[in-house]
Amino acid sequence: MYEVTNFINGKKITLTERKLDLFNPVSGEISGHVHVANAKTVDLAVQAAKEAFSSWSQTTPAQRTKILFQYKYLLDAQKENIAKIITQEHGKTLSEAMGSVQRGIDVVNFACGLSNSLKGSYASQVGTGVDSYSLHQPLGVCVGITPFNFPAMIPLWMFPMAIACGNTFVVKPSEKDPSCAMRLVELIKEAGLPDGVVNVVHGDKETVDALITHKDVKAVSFVGSSAVAEYVHHTAISHGKRAQAFGGAKNHCVVMPDADLDQAADALVTAGYDCAGERCMAISVVLAVGDEVADQLIEKIKHKISKIKIGPGMETGVQMGPLITKQHWEKVKSYIELGKQEGAKLVVDGSNDKPKDYKEGFFMGASLFDHVKPTMRIYREEIFGPVLSVVRVPDFHTALTLINEHEYGNGTAIFTRDGYIAHTFMEKVQVGMVGINVPVPVPVAYMSFGGWKRSIFADIGMYGQESIRFYTKLKTVTQRWMPGGEKWM
């Protein structure tokens, strides 16, 4: 058994006796405990960040950059070890974990060059003898509430950008896999970050509520389900915080009759089943244009599903690890049963697929539905598991309409060789991130991440230039120097 504590002002600390169980998703057994932060613990973390802000905000961008470069060096050196922590506690395969850590490091790399974007602008003679200039100034104490599915990547999308802008930070990672966040802050302390600039508290709703209502917190960034995202956003802004809350998704992929169906099938299997479907950018709905396309795609996907190796993420050759918890496994299983009840055709049922030596683990194979209708709950709701649904549509415009009418608008994709169709799709689809012959269109670090509709509560995206907008406040100065110094001339 191992214990995960809070990290406040550069030290591991525990103030309460309340703990939550941590599970090994491979065996299903309790493997450790995480200590829950109550309101007193949260206040201690926020006060540490507030005290650190007075000096950190005055640190030069060059000094911040020096620490971030050293942090990137340490992350690069420790990438595999961090990935192993993720695999052991979350369950995803080591290669998936390595890839997610690298996506986080990419944002740290971008943060290293942020000083150029923080310099503001200057305009002389906006009026007679009058100049004007703008400044990007830090907010203060910022909070990041991160999900279980990417325990390294999403924290690294948040706090490096925030501290590069001169803020201090409190991370609240998922209580299901909190160890990775602890390792991340240990490494940035090793890189030279002053104590109190980044802190970690653990827990559930009690901890979240204490953070998003704390009088000294200036901004809140959240990633999770839409219901919780809406709650966090509403609560935070009602308490005077700047807030961005990223919610759920139901990502559609349109496959046109002219598409390379082998390429599309490969992409759909990867986009639908990698990370066991536990990612907000997973493709969960295929809009197959025409029955011929649907029939061919299903046969190709069925063949590829049969070759997916399920097992512990540390084992060589494994392509799909377990789900995060038993409760989540039961939720995904219930959606598969619901789909059958609703009348969809279950072409491949992976709900009970488990490696023979790990029957108590939270494993589930890939499932594939055909003849899914837009009225069905398995179409409308986010399943967040290895379940792919095929909806047959007669034409491109029907596919586009279905995407635009859906309540979620996180990511989408289209497979086609037709430039006009691709351009029309890009222009008219009501979704924040679009892939054209690319199944998972997560933006690179110097762009920005963010969906539309109920996939986001806010109007500012994450990382890239959008992070500068979120983690700074704009001050514009208009100045005139009056005559009076002629005697010194």
Percent of the chain residues past pLDDT 90, beyond the cut: 94
Crossing angle for the helix pair 464-471 and 153-164, to the nearest 10 degrees: 60
The answer for residues whose C-beta is within 8 angstroms of residue 179's C-beta and 6 or more apart is 2, 4, 85, 89, 151
Alpha helices in 59-93 (DSSP H): 61-89
* pLDDT recorded at residue 461: 93
**pLDDT beyond 90 at 214:** yes
> Over 90: is that where the pLDDT of 115 sits?
no
- At 248-302, the pLDDT tens digits run 999 999 999 999 999 999 999 999 999 999 999 999 999 999 999 999 999 999 9
The pLDDT of residue 454 is above 80: yes
pLDDT for 235 beyond 80: yes
Residue 5: which residues within 8 A CB-CB, separation 6 or more? 12, 13, 14, 35, 182, 202
Give the pLDDT score at 459: 85
State how beta strands 30-35 and 121-127 pair.
unpaired
Q: Residue 428 above 80 pLDDT?
A: yes
- pLDDT of amino acid 482: 80
- Please give the structure tokens belonging to residue 389: 């649904």
Per-residue model confidence (pLDDT) at position 307: 95
Average pLDDT over all residues of the chain: 95
Angle at 444 between CA 257 and CA 283, to 5 degrees: 40
Catalytic residue positions?
280
Does position 79 have pLDDT exceeding 90, yes or no?
yes
Residues pairing with 434 in the sheet: 412
Angle at 415 between CA 412 and CA 419, to 5 degrees: 105
CB neighbour list of residue 267: distance below 8 Å, 6 or more residues apart: 253, 283, 413, 415, 438, 439
What global pTM score does this model have? 0.94
Q: What is the 3-state secondary structure (H, E, C) of 186-203?
A: HHHHHCCCCCCCEEECCC
pLDDT of residue 120 exceeding 90: no
> Quick count: other Cβ atoms within 10 Å of Cβ 167?
26
CATH for 2-247+455-477 (3.40.50.1000, 3.90.79.10, 3.10.105.10, 3.40.605.10): 3.40.605.10
**Could you tell me which residues come within 8 angstroms of residue 341 by beta carbon, excluding any fewer than 6 positions away?**
none
Q: Report the pLDDT value the prediction gives residue 230, as an integer from 0 to 100.
A: 97
pLDDT of residue 488 exceeding 70 = no
Residue with tokens 């969960």: 284
- Which of 253, 277, 301, 285 has its CA nearest to residue 371? 285
Q: How far from each other are the two terminal CA atoms of the chain, in whole angstroms?
A: 76
DSSP string, 22-62: EE-TTT--EEEEEEPP-HHHHHHHHHHHHHHHHHHTTS-HH
Residue identified by tokens 């944002």 is: 107
Per-residue pLDDT tens digits for 127-185: 998 999 999 999 999 999 999 999 999 999 999 999 999 999 999 999 999 999 999 99
3-state secondary structure of 138: strand
What does the domain layout of the chain look like in residue ranges?
Answer: 2-247+455-477, 251-436
What's the rounded Cα separation, in Å, for the pair 423 and 182?
Answer: 44
pLDDT value for 489: 60
**Judging by beta carbons within 10 Å of its beta carbon (0-12, 13-18, 19+), is residue 119 exposed, middle or buried?**
exposed
Q: Which CATH number, 3.40.309.10, 3.40.50.300, 3.40.50.970, 3.40.50.1370, labels domain 251-436?
A: 3.40.309.10
Q: Would the pLDDT of 486 be above 80?
A: no
> Which of 41-45, 114-118, 384-388 is the least confident region?
114-118
Which pLDDT does position 1 carry in this prediction?
86
Whether 17 shows a pLDDT value over 90: the answer reads no
